[in-house]
Amino acid sequence: MIPPIVLPQLVPSRTCLQCDVCCRFPDPDSALRPYFTENEITWALAGSVEETAFPNRRGSQVILVPEPHGDGYLCPAFETATSTCRIYEQRPFDCQLYPLALMWDEPHEQVLLGWDTKCPFMREEIPAEIQRHADRVRALLDRPDIQDHVVAHPRLIGRFQEDVIVLAHLPRLTEAVAGQWGPMPLHRFTLDDIPHMTASLDRSGLCGPQSLAAYSPVYHYMWNGLLAYWWMDLQGALCLFAQSPDGWFMPLPPIGAGSIDAPLFDAMGLLRRRNGDSAVSRVENVPSQLVPELERLGYRVTPKEPDYLYRAADLAALAGDRYKSQRALCNRFEREQSFEMHSYQMSDRQDCRALLGDWSRQKQAKGLESFGVMLLADASSAHEVLWSQASVLRVTGRIVRTHGRLCAYTFGYWLTSTTFCVLLEVTDRTLPGLAQYLFRETCRTALAEGAEYINAMDDAGLPGLRASKQAYHPALLIPNFVAVPARES
């Protein structure tokens, strides 16, 4: 283990101990949660921070944990009883830097050093002292080892924040970052970028009633805790990138009004820069209408699991012999249980969390396939994002309670005005018919609100899931492809 970088501190620990800003966050997807490099993760693990806190061992923002007695989220290294950091001496560079912060300027051209006014100490100290401290840190940022540290982990440089006072421009660091990663501005995908992605999808013509569920920002945004998403406008198209432990890939083709040829060429250049010749460079969620163009461009295009698309009226009615078993289960649930169904509210979050824990245990006890277990483990941070950001993400949720106990929840979103996507459904598996009932009611509500189709996503290659999705008789399996540059195939 390499000793951690040590930066000088300005704020006295007595001030930090009285403050409730640092290490606590209102939402699980906060862009300000700390970033740990590979070496810092090793130190944190030695300091007994759980492995699950780090989705990418080579470097990642930490996955926050729910506050035990509150509505917010905490860094998993934070001790609530003492309001201290369990790994204070080995805390990451990102935390040591605070309340200074590295960020891009507004046009995303220059790296800046700033002072975050969210730190209450700012209101007490004289600016000259802060400036002297910033000058000391700025000199350190020119040190080759520290510069290499930041260049290797560009996520240490946040996006522009208006409440951060700019103290210095960092031209050497800007140049070093551009030298390594290219001159084009790559942005972290945040909530603020959702309108831009929505507008790009509208222009692209790739988002229609029978499109893949992936042609929506929320489909990607919810995984932002596990995969770091980035985006960049290239040749008039928005290019979305996902950074996984294996490397970088495009979770969607370029999204724009024109041909994908030129933006894809540039985007693949960027992936090569990050992945070298690794086969991880690929484009996911390619719809069938783009397959001929990608093949013409020399990509090897292979099918993956399709999305299941149903007629909303079929699922709302569950009529006829072909839906006999689902209808019987719905009837059984209505007959045997006393229950209430409501729209999801933020105040349901704690109960949803408890149900997800029970549901995961029930699934594992039933011998879920190992890939399925992995998906479940990954899912909890995505569920946290939905519970916390449902209204901002325009995701609708419904819950079911039996005798006051929350026993089911579901979330979905409108892909178009006539297609509703069911993003997830979690139910107490000990209550027969609950899952079928919740799904039918979701479809009935969507139908009443104008849905012609229900998209129930793919089956993740899980045989059990495939069988239950097939049993609802899809009107269409929406083809989905992965494209890999041929030379890497």
Report the interface residues with ligand SF4, using CB under 6 A: 22-23, 34, 75, 77-78, 85, 87, 91, 95
Query: Measured from the CB atom, is 92 or 372 closer to ligand SF4?
Result: 92
Query: Measured from the CB atom, is 34 or 254 closer to ligand SF4?
Result: 34
Query: Measured from the CB atom, is 3 or 144 closer to ligand SF4?
Result: 3
Cβ contacts of 197 within 8 Å, gap of 6 or more: 189, 217, 231, 238, 240, 255
Q: How far is the CB of 40 from ligand SF4 (least distance, A)?
A: 9
How far is it, in rounded angstroms, from Cα 346 to Cα 160? 29
Take residue 242 and report the two structure tokens written for it.
């996902």
Q: How far is the CB of 166 from ligand SF4 (least distance, A)?
A: 23
Q: At what angle do helices 370-389 and 349-365 cross, to 10 degrees?
A: 170
Provide the 8-state DSSP code for 258: S
Q: How far is the CB of 203 from ligand SF4 (least distance, A)?
A: 39
**DSSP for 67-81?**
-TTSSSEE-TTEETT
> Taking Cα atoms as reference points, which of 464, 281, 437 lies closest to residue 376?
464
Place of tokens 């690929």: 282
Cis peptide before 251 (omega within 30 of 0): no
Q: How far is the CB of 121 from ligand SF4 (least distance, A)?
A: 15
- Taking every pair of Cα atoms in the chain, the longest distance, rounded to a whole number of angstroms, is 79
CB contact at 8 A, 171 and 165: no
Query: Measured from the CB atom, is 77 or 422 closer to ligand SF4?
Result: 77
Provide the 8-state DSSP code for 191: G
Take residue 434 and report the two structure tokens written for it.
């609950």
How far is it, in rounded angstroms, from Cα 391 to Cα 411? 11
Centroid of chain to Cα 371: 19
CB contact at 8 A, 355 and 362: no
> Taking Cα atoms as reference points, which of 35, 27, 483, 96 lies closest to residue 228?
35
Q: How far is the CB of 20 from ligand SF4 (least distance, A)?
A: 12
Q: How far is the CB of 79 from ligand SF4 (least distance, A)?
A: 8
Query: Measured from the CB atom, is 22 or 457 closer to ligand SF4?
Result: 22
> Taking Cα atoms as reference points, which of 115, 253, 149, 240 lies closest to residue 190?
240
Query: Measured from the CB atom, is 56 or 235 closer to ligand SF4?
Result: 56
Per-residue buried b or exposed e for 169-196, using 16+ beta carbons within 10 Å of the residue's own CB: ebeebbebbeeeeeeeebbbbbbebbee
Query: Measured from the CB atom, is 87 or 393 closer to ligand SF4?
Result: 87
Q: How far is the CB of 385 from ligand SF4 (least distance, A)?
A: 19
Query: Measured from the CB atom, is 65 or 476 closer to ligand SF4?
Result: 65
Query: Measured from the CB atom, is 95 or 446 closer to ligand SF4?
Result: 95
Q: How far is the CB of 101 from ligand SF4 (least distance, A)?
A: 13
Query: Measured from the CB atom, is 89 or 321 closer to ligand SF4?
Result: 89
Query: Measured from the CB atom, is 83 or 288 closer to ligand SF4?
Result: 83
Q: How far is the CB of 354 from ligand SF4 (least distance, A)?
A: 25
CB contact at 8 A, 76 and 24: no
Amino acid of residue 385: V
> Taking Cα atoms as reference points, which of 72, 76, 87, 95 lies closest to residue 20?
72
Place of tokens 């501005």: 185
Amino acid of residue 308: Y
CB contact at 8 A, 130 and 122: yes
Residue 298: other Cβ atoms inside 10 A: 11
Query: Measured from the CB atom, is 34 or 55 closer to ligand SF4?
Result: 34
Take residue 178 and report the two structure tokens written for it.
């551009």
Q: How far is the CB of 353 from ligand SF4 (least distance, A)?
A: 21
Q: How far is the CB of 411 from ligand SF4 (least distance, A)?
A: 29
Q: How far is the CB of 167 from ligand SF4 (least distance, A)?
A: 21
